[in-house]
Amino acid sequence: TNIYNAIIQAKTEKRKLLAILLDPDKIVWENLGYLIEKINQSPATHIFIGGSHVQNNILDELIIRLKQFPPLVDRGVLPIVLFPGNPSQISAHADAILFLSLISGRNPDYLIEHQVDAVPILKKTELEIISTGYMLIESGSETAVARVSNTKPLDRNNSDYAMHTAQAGEMLGHKLIYLEAGSGAKKAVPFEMIKKVSNNIEIPLIVGGGIIDLQGIQKAYEAGADLVVIGTAFENDHNFFESSPI
Ligand code: 1GP
């Protein structure tokens, strides 16, 4: 429960968290050293690993290579958290897994079936399992999450319904709520919605998808996000965090 406890601790101390999302399919292996150096220089507090179509051996390989990076002096070693698209995306080499249930959708496969299938695999690992209510929010165009999960995202203008969904997730016992616009989304999760949800749940709130600049990160924090996830923007520009300090 180390990683989750540290998230709770940060929330209590009002310290904001930042995850860099790495998709093993999009790693340029020759440049891995440079990538790691850039992660070390960034303000990231977590590394999330996931993607829509990742092969297991590549996932293992990436995590093993990342684990070789030297301990970071000021922040300690960044925890590696799996953010899986399906049960095959599990690696025992990571530190924790966001055990997601897609509570915005009405597809039983992503609500419970994949989770059941994942159990025999998870039982063979020592991964910290963090139950997460995952909510896909409409973002201007179809995203891979919507397509792959075959679910309809929540209306971006209906913050009340999003709030009720998040509250139901909390009542069901999820430890985190994740508001997701989808990787590379045209529009990020609306700040109004972040505000509404964060003000009405006790558990930490993760926000990601379509955030492309430092102001976007800052505004998500101000609206109440406890942890922001950045994938595409850092993938496209490894100097993304250097444009100005957060
Ligand atoms: C994490 O999928 C997102 O929630 C990451 O989205 O790639 O748009 O940053 P981006």
Per-residue pLDDT of the chain (246 residues; tens, 9 = 90+): 699 999 999 999 999 999 999 999 999 999 999 999 999 999 999 999 998 777 778 999 999 999 987 666 677 889 999 999 888 899 999 999 999 999 999 999 999 999 999 999 999 999 999 999 999 999 999 989 999 999 999 999 999 999 999 999 999 999 999 999 999 999 999 999 999 999 999 999 999 999 999 999 999 999 999 999 999 999 999 999 997 655
Closest CA to 172 of 95, 96, 122, 100: 100
Which atom of ligand 1 sits closest to the CA of residue 145?
2
> Can you give the residue ranges of every domain in the chain?
2-237
Complex-level ipTM beyond the 0.90 threshold: yes
Rounded Cα distance, 78 and 7, in Å: 13
User: Which residue has its alpha carbon closest to ligand 1 atom 2?
Assistant: 183
Class of domain 2-237: alpha beta
Which atom of ligand 1 sits closest to the CA of residue 178?
4
Check: CB of residue 82 under 8 Å from CB of residue 90.
yes
- Indicate the pTM of the whole model: 0.96
Rounded Cα distance, 136 and 11, in Å: 23
Per-residue DSSP letter, 85: S
**232 CA to middle of ligand 1, Å?**
6
Q: Residue 185: CB within 6 Å of ligand 1?
A: yes
**120 CA to middle of ligand 1, Å?**
28
Check: CB of residue 228 under 8 Å from CB of residue 208.
yes
Please enumerate in sequence order all residues whose Cβ is within 8 A of that of 164, keeping only pairs 6 or more positions apart, or say none: none
